[in-house]
Structures are given as C-alpha cells and as structure tokens.
Structure 1
Amino acid sequence: MSADTQVRPYRQVARAAATEETRRRIVAAFAAALERLWLDEITLDDVAAAAGTTRQTVIRLFGGKDGLLAAVAERMSEEVARRRALPRAATPPAIARAIVEDYEASGDMVARLLAQEGRHPALGTVLARGRRGHRAWVTEVFAAPLAAAPQAAREALVDRLVLATDVYSWKLLRRDMGRSRSATEAAVADLIAAILAEWSAHHG
C-alpha cells in the first residue's frame, strides 16, 4: 500500500469533519439571527460572515433560507426532546418544569417564527412539524390518563393538555404578564392538575 493510499482516507475524514463543523457554525449563526431578526431581514451574506465562511458555501450546503430553516428545525427538535425528557408517570409540577425549561430556551424564537408564518410557506412546514411534535409529546407524557379516558373523548383531553402546555401559554405568562419562571411553572402545573382532576371527575 502506497503512502498516498494511506493518506487519502485520512484526508477524506478530515474534509468531512471540516464540512460538518462548517455546517454546524452556519446553522448556529442562522438560529442566532432568527432569535433577534425577522426572516426578511436575514441575508445569506450576514449568516456566512457570522459563521466565518462564504455565501457560496452556505448556498452549496443548504441551498438558501428554506434549507437553513429545515436544518434549524432539525437541531431544535433534538434539543426539545432532550429538555422535555421525563420519567413515566411524571407529576404535573415535573411536567411544568420541563415545558417551561424548554420554552425558556426556545420560546422567544418560536413565538417570533409563529408571527411570520403567514408570510413564508417554508415556515408553515417547520411550524406544522413542531405542532405535531408537541401533540405527540403530550400524548406520550399523559399516556396513563389518556388510556383511562373513553377512546371517543381522548382527543378532547389531548386538546386541553396541549393548550395548557403550549408556547403561547408560556409567552402570555412570562412575556406579556411578566411573571417569574417559578410562578409560570406553578401556573402551568395548576392548569394541568385542574384539567386532569376535572376530566377524572366527569369521566373517571
């Protein structure tokens, strides 16, 4: 085996690692821009400069803003899953802590994206994925009470629990009303407990 044959795989691995690091920096730069700017205000040149690369590289790796949105959504999905991880049969306070922790990290960006949804079709796709993911999480976290509910009425219970744990509920409490994080957690926990208690009283 020649020296060139031995070196080539190393170079390929190094090139792939460098490309992945560039992708990571570009996604991070775009996500940071989304937190403070409207989508129309973000340019690929600015994203490239923040990531320490070129506009051509951004286009080559992501195509444009739609590709960047998809990449940010993928990264956020992984982070949300980690922050919302809970043991089986978690209590309302534990569930409230997890959801508020998630929104403390992502809620402002999500609210900003929701405000722009009607203007950008690609955002509709990303946000629809987020809504489906949130509903699936609610269904998983509240699997025990949902299993005890009549099948025909389960969707109505999921609806109520989705409302109690939605990003707009967090925004209303934290940003619009100026409540503290602990007060927000308590309010969300109380909402969850009240929904479950009312449901059990009428359907248990």
Structure 2
Amino acid sequence: MNSASPSSIRREYRQGARAEAAEITGQRIVGAFLTALRQQWLEDITLEQVARDAGVSVQTVIRRFGGKPGLLEAVAELVELDVRSARGLPRGDIETTVANLCTDYESTGDMLVRLLAQEARHPALQPLLALGRAHHRQWVAEVTEPWIEGLDAPAREAALDAIVASLDVYVWNLLRRDMGRSADQTRATILGMAQAILRDLKTSGR
C-alpha cells in the first residue's frame, strides 16, 4: 500500500492552510463592506476604506472581488443566507411568519431601505435588488400556500400581490421609523394587515 511522502503531506497542509486563510480574508472583506453599507451611501464607500477596515491592502480587495460590483454580489449572497435562516419557512403559520419577518427587518431593514433609495442612480444594485424582490415573493408564496393553493392563476397572483405588499420592508419602515412605533407594535400592525387579507380570501371564497 502506497503512502504519501512527508513532502507531499507538508505541501497539502500548506495549500489547505492558505485556502483557509484566503477564505477568512474574504469573509473579513465582505464583512467590512457590509458594515459600511449599513451606515453609508454606496458612493461614499471607498475600496481604501474597505481594505483598511478589513486589515488588507486595496490590491487584495480588487484581486478577490474586482470592485464594488463584486463586493455587492458577495454581500447579497451572505445576506440571502442570513435572511433564509432568520425567516425559516413557517408554512401556514402567519403569526410565526410575521414574527420571523419583523426580526429579520430589525436586522436588515434599514440597510435594505437605504439600498432601495440608491437603486435608480446605481445600476449595479438593480439586479441584486430585483433578485431580492423575487426571493421575497417566492418566500411569501411558500408560507401562505395553504390559503392560496386553490385559487386560479389570476386570483392567486392578486392575492399574492396583496400579501407581499403587507409584508414589504417599506411597510415596516413606515411604521418603525417614520411613525416611531415599537418593534412589538410594528409586528402587531403588520400581522393584523396580513390576517385581514387572509380572512378576506377565506370569506370571499377566492
């Protein structure tokens, strides 16, 4: 039976260590950019700032991500994973659905609203935000399937439009930030809106 030579073992170890270090470096860079996005407008964030906050050189940032578009894609992937984890998939349970959604918005809502406000002037944001909208709609469709599964296609789309609108981040922002409502008050209001839509679906037989 052949066994690996000591030199090949050392080489594999070094390669593994380098790959792990590169992964950690990438995570630091993405984390620094995400922190900046939570606090600043996109045009005010520089690669020099991201590099400094991540403890790397600008060349490293460019080599790993190319620039802001690449960083935005990496952040979108990270946020999508966090959103899926925070929201879960409480199919048929509107109370848990709204509770999980509002918990997610408490973490990501301000940044999302900030990004949406910049969409028109930063084309790099448009495909990422469009994907986020599509994922949100799909999630709403999945958790509310017990209420809409028997509807024909036009009625289903109309019902889904109403539910998605009630669970949109702009509604959370209006209540939580513009009106200054507490997290509990915001959750209760959003829940009431969603429940009213679902009751209407049930009573109208649509």
TM range (shorter): over 0.9
Structure 1 runs, 4 residues or longer, greater than 6 Å off: none
Count of aligned pairs between the two proteins: 203
Instruction: Give the C-alpha shift of residue 17 in structure 1.
Output: 0.3
2:88 is the alignment partner of 1:88: no
Match of 1:156 in 2: 158
Match of 2:107 in 1: 105
Could you tell me how far apart the structure 2 residues matched to 1:93 and 1:187 are? 12
2:122 is the alignment partner of 1:120: yes
Indicate if the aligned counterparts of 2:30 and 2:74 stay in contact, CA closer than 8 A: yes
TM-score (norm 1): 0.97
Instruction: Give the C-alpha shift of residue 146 in structure 1.
Output: 1.0
Match of 1:9 in 2: 12
Match of 1:143 in 2: 145
Instruction: Give the C-alpha shift of residue 3 in structure 1.
Output: 2.5
- Match for residue 187 of structure 1 among 173, 186, 189: 189
TM-score (norm 2): 0.96
Could you tell me how far apart the structure 2 residues matched to 1:179 and 1:169 are? 12
Indicate if the aligned counterparts of 2:65 and 2:71 stay in contact, CA closer than 8 A: yes
Structure 1 unpaired stretches of 5+: none
Indicate if the aligned counterparts of 1:93 and 1:186 stay in contact, CA closer than 8 A: no
Deviations 1:3-24 (A, max 9, x none): 3211000000000000000000
Deviations 1:24-43 (A, max 9, x none): 00000000000111100000
2:180 is the alignment partner of 1:178: yes
Partner AA of 1:51 in structure 2 = A
Match of 1:133 in 2: 135
Partner AA of 2:124 in structure 1 = A
Could you tell me how far apart the structure 2 residues matched to 1:96 and 1:123 are? 27
Deviations 1:109-165 (A, max 9, x none): 000000000111110011001000000001100011111223331000010011010
